[in-house]
Amino acid sequence: MTRLILTLSLVITFLLPSCYYDTEEELYPANNGNNCDSVQGSFSSEILPVINVQCRSCHNTSFSSGGVNLEGFTNIQNAALNGKLIQSLRHESGVSPMPQNSPKLDDCTLKAFEDWKNAGAPNN
Q: Which residues bind ligand HEC (CB under 6 A)?
A: 54-55, 57-59, 65-66, 68, 79, 84-85, 88-89, 95-96, 98-101
- Return the number of the residue (89 or 108) whose C-beta is nearest ligand HEC: 89
> Nearer to ligand HEC by C-beta: 8 or 63?
63
Give the residue closest to ligand HEC by C-beta. Answer: 66
For residues 112 and 23, give the distance between their C-alpha atoms in angstroms, rounded to a whole number.
24
- Choose between 36 and 51: whose C-beta lies nearer to ligand HEC: 51
Picking from 123, 119, 124, 117, the residue whose alpha carbon sits closest to that of residue 88 is 117
- In terms of CB distance, is 33 or 66 closer to ligand HEC? 66
Tell the smallest beta-carbon distance from residue 68 to ligand HEC (Å). 4
Smallest distance from ligand HEC to CB 48, Å: 12
Smallest separation (angstroms) from ligand HEC to the CB of 40? 19
How far apart, in whole angstroms, are the C-alpha atoms of residue 116 and residue 46? 9
Shortest reach from residue 10's CB to ligand HEC, in Å: 50
Question: What's the CA gap between 47 and 40, in Å, rounded?
Answer: 10
Torsion-angle region of residue 72: left (phi > 0), alpha (psi -120 to 50) or beta?
Answer: left
Among 117, 122, 112, 119, residue whose Cα is nearest residue 49: 112
